[in-house]
Amino acid sequence: MSRIGKLPIKIPSGVDCKLAGHHLTVKGPKGQLERDLHPNMSIAIESAEIRVTRPTDERQDRALHGLTRALINNMVCGVTTGFSRKLNIVGVGYKVDLKANNLVLSLGFSHPVEYPAPKGIEFEVDSKNNTIVVKGINKEVVGQTAAEIRGFRPPEPYKGKGVMYSDERIIRKAGKAAASGGK
């Protein structure tokens, strides 16, 4: 049995979960999330917890068991605490500003890059330290938004310049050695 899938999901107070067929709606203090779940998985909402069970031990059902439980858990955690991802901008002349709800990134291109905030996403910018915090209740959208911002100028291995996650470690390469004068 799946180690992840068999764990029950605790529903904290202030969170309301409704299941209509295979459509789950989770409401909490930070907002509301909805998702259609796979029809093979059976979801049971009992008093203060949610349980996910699978019909058979076939390969696809085993894979969906842990996935479905993780998706539901992310929904419950999202509406209670939310998710965030922190990005650092490293490089001479690289900077970030927040105008309205759009990020304006100066990343060494001939023009600034404007990135509008997707629905349900908030940005916190510290221009002094060149950091961006992407916040939201949907873990997938927070991660995708952070990945798209990082994609504008991924960190390069020689000088370590670019946009990187705060917990990312860049493995540096040695540059070309200077000419030693020997022929």
Q: What is the pLDDT along the chain (183 residues), one digit of tens a residue?
A: 578 888 999 999 999 999 999 999 999 999 999 999 999 999 999 989 999 999 999 999 999 999 999 999 999 999 999 999 999 999 999 999 999 889 999 999 999 999 999 999 999 999 889 999 999 999 999 999 999 999 999 999 999 899 999 998 988 898 887 656 555
pTM above 0.85, yes or no: yes
Helix %, strand %, coil % of the chain (to 5): 20, 35, 45
Question: Among the CATH numbers 3.10.50.40, 3.90.930.12, 3.30.70.1150, 3.30.750.80, which is that of 83-165?
Answer: 3.90.930.12
What is the pairing mode between strands 83-90 and 31-36?
Answer: unpaired
